[in-house]
Amino acid sequence: MNAVSARVIVGMSGGVDSSVAAWLLRERGESLAGLFMQNWDEDGSGECRAEDDRRDALKVCGQLGLPFIARNFAADYWSGVFETFLAEYRAGRTPNPDVLCNREIKFKTFLDEAKALGAEKIATGHYARVDEADGRWRLLRGVDASKDQSYFLHQLGQSQLASTLFPVGELPKTEVRAIAARLGLATAKKKDSTGICFIGERDFREFLAQYIAVTPGEIVDASGDVLGRHDGIAFYTLGQREGLRIGGVRGRPDAPWFVVGKDAARNRLVVEQGDSPLLKSSALRSEAFHWIAGEPPTFPLRCEAQVRYRQPPQACTVLPRDDQGVDVHFDEPQRAVTPGQSLVLYRGEECLGGAVIAATDAPLDPLRATVATPIAPFFAPASP
């Protein structure tokens, strides 16, 4: 492994955000190199487009006059991200691979590689910010609220934040695009990537069925009446509307159906219409919580929570559990809180940390009995 004479190595994804991040750092006079990480070995059955991304990253590094490095982290991605992704689906939960990818690959494998190459810091095109206050590193929301990615970065800790730069976190996305266009960067008009890279343009159900056993079964309403057939409950998530293939049902209004529960024991998918109370929960239990500060705050904690990306922050009260998890009680009931997804806590602009959602008090959650009951006066909403 050859060292490079760069203080900062930029993770070049082949997209516009990392391209502009590299330019911003170059304009500051930073000593830079760009590194493209391949996290999935294509098998020819999809459109992951890793090679196209590598070429675009190489073009931008050439335009900016930066040394270019390419590394294949596919083995690390398989063991650190993909195996957990599959295990969660086998357990009937809905995982978030982007969170794991950031923790295990971009801010662990990539960071370690950059340090081994002689760099002091890494930089990425994430829309987030880092600062230091009272001797502690903080993860802050990006200036562009519509693009803020701190939700996906909540597993970072003090050592990662101390070694990371987020140059575009201070800018709105429109300005990032404008900069790329003005400079004529190869990625200026490239669309933002969506979805999960290793699935690409393939059908999600077809892809997942290659790795986990799925069994078709009945779709029923809350009364147990059979309304249709599902392809395997692993393919569905709470609150899902698309793909149910339920037509008009005699005696029921002409309104959309939503997944409200999974009966794994009988391999049944439970659905109801409209804003069903079966989708509502007022409390949840998390798995072991990661505190970005390195230690928990004083409890009870009043803060805001997000249980999905781009959800408006929800006021809540948090208490610790003996298993290092937390119990969260919301001021207002929440819709479709989904085990396997991420709970992320905020205090204003600061991301405090997060954890995987283990259970909720929703009526059909099989683990609802494990969610703590609110205890007055901790959970009484503040007086106006």
C-alpha distances out from residue 132 to 120, 140, 149, 295, 354, Å: 17, 10, 19, 16, 20
Residue 242 has pLDDT above 60, yes or no: yes
Q: What pLDDT, on the 0 to 100 scale, is given for residue 2?
A: 63
Residue 380 has pLDDT above 70, yes or no: no
What mean pLDDT do residues 279-288 have?
A: 97
List pLDDT tens digits, range 133-153.
Answer: 999 999 999 999 999 999 999
Q: What pLDDT, on the 0 to 100 scale, is given for residue 165?
A: 98
Q: What pLDDT, on the 0 to 100 scale, is given for residue 251?
A: 81
Task: Phi first, then psi: give them for residue 300, nearest 5 degrees.
Answer: -70, 145
Q: What pLDDT, on the 0 to 100 scale, is given for residue 377?
A: 47
Whether the CB-CB separation of 323 and 346 falls below 8 Å is answered with no
Whether the CB-CB separation of 186 and 56 falls below 8 Å is answered with yes
List pLDDT tens digits, range 171-191.
Answer: 999 999 999 999 999 999 999
Whether the CB-CB separation of 367 and 359 falls below 8 Å is answered with yes
Residue 37: pLDDT band (50, 70, 90) is: very high
What mean pLDDT do residues 349-367 have?
A: 97
Cβ count near 2 (within 10 Å):
6
Residue 254: pLDDT band (50, 70, 90) is: confident
Please tell me the pTM assigned to this model. 0.93
Residue 249: pLDDT band (50, 70, 90) is: confident
Alpha carbon distance 258, 274 (integer Å): 7
SS3 at position 368 = helix
Residue 383 has pLDDT above 60, yes or no: no
CA angle 108, 58, 101 (to 5 degrees): 25
Percent of the chain residues past pLDDT 70, beyond the cut:
93
Q: What pLDDT, on the 0 to 100 scale, is given for residue 373?
A: 76
Residue 214: pLDDT band (50, 70, 90) is: confident
Residue 164 has pLDDT above 60, yes or no: yes
CA angle 382, 311, 196 (to 5 degrees): 150
What mean pLDDT do residues 5-22 have?
A: 97
List pLDDT tens digits, range 41-89.
Answer: 876 555 557 889 999 999 999 999 999 999 999 999 999 999 999 999 9
Alpha carbon distance 374, 384 (integer Å): 20
Q: Please give the structure tokens belonging to residue 377.
A: 């006066």
What mean pLDDT do residues 115-143 have?
A: 97
Task: Phi first, then psi: give them for residue 285, nearest 5 degrees.
Answer: -115, 135
Domains and their CATH numbers in the chain: 8-183 (3.40.50.620), 214-274 (2.30.30.280), 280-370 (2.40.30.10)
Closest alpha carbon to 88 in 343, 342, 269 = 342
Task: Phi first, then psi: give them for residue 351, nearest 5 degrees.
Answer: -85, 120
Cβ count near 127 (within 10 Å):
26
Average model confidence (pLDDT) across the chain: 92
Q: What pLDDT, on the 0 to 100 scale, is given for residue 382?
A: 47
Strand 8-11 vs strand 32-38: parallel, antiparallel, or unpaired?
parallel
> What is the set of active-site residues?
101, 197
Q: What pLDDT, on the 0 to 100 scale, is given for residue 201?
A: 63
Residue 104 has pLDDT above 80, yes or no: yes
Alpha carbon distance 53, 16 (integer Å): 11
Q: What pLDDT, on the 0 to 100 scale, is given for residue 100?
A: 95
